Amino acid sequence: MIVVGREFDDGSMSWPDLHAFIYAAPPGTAVFNVVEKGWTTTDYLLAHVIDRLDINNWQRTADAHKKPPRNPPKPFPRPADIEAERKRKQAEAVPVGHGVMATRTTVADFMRMRAEREQRWREKHGKSGEVR
């Protein structure tokens, strides 16, 4: 706010003014980057254009004419998509030490994966455990 010559505590700015300043922050400012994740209206419009071009090109493929249509193009990732993916990955992993992450799983899934690994090991090394 200081850069644009405004201060909140000098009485010249009301709460509605502060709200308007935050939600209409100029691109490139820290407030804008926090609120809009760094994307301007132009960035969103360009992402929509990319999506439409991808769909237009896909419509001319054999996959688009199959019943049902296959392999439609994925939308260009938006900031919300990237943030959701980051949170999903964080939810799947838990910290287990200094910078080490482990995948969450149930005991039943762990036991199933352990049995599969043991079976692969036995097939590779024989039932007696001797290397072939």
| Residue 8: inside a domain | no
Q: Are 15 and 34 in contact (CB under 8 A)?
A: no
Domain containing residue 67? 15-92
pLDDT digits (tens, 9 = 90+) for 47-90: 999 999 999 999 999 999 999 999 999 999 888 787 777 777 77
Distance (Å, rounded) from C-alpha 30 to C-alpha 17? 18
Query: In this structure, is residue 106 part of a structural domain?
Result: no
In a domain, 127, yes or no: no
Instruction: Decide if 1 is inside a domain.
Output: no
- The tally of domains found in the chain comes to 1
Whether the CB-CB separation of 32 and 26 falls below 8 Å is answered with yes
Are the C-beta atoms of 109 and 70 separated by less than 8 Å?
no
Segment 2-15, tens digit of pLDDT: 666 666 677 777 78
| 121, part of any domain | no
pLDDT at 8: 65
**Global confidence as pTM:** 0.50
Domain-embedded: residue 10: no
* 95: phi then psi, degrees, rounded to nearest 5: -70, 135
Q: Is residue 77 part of a domain?
A: yes
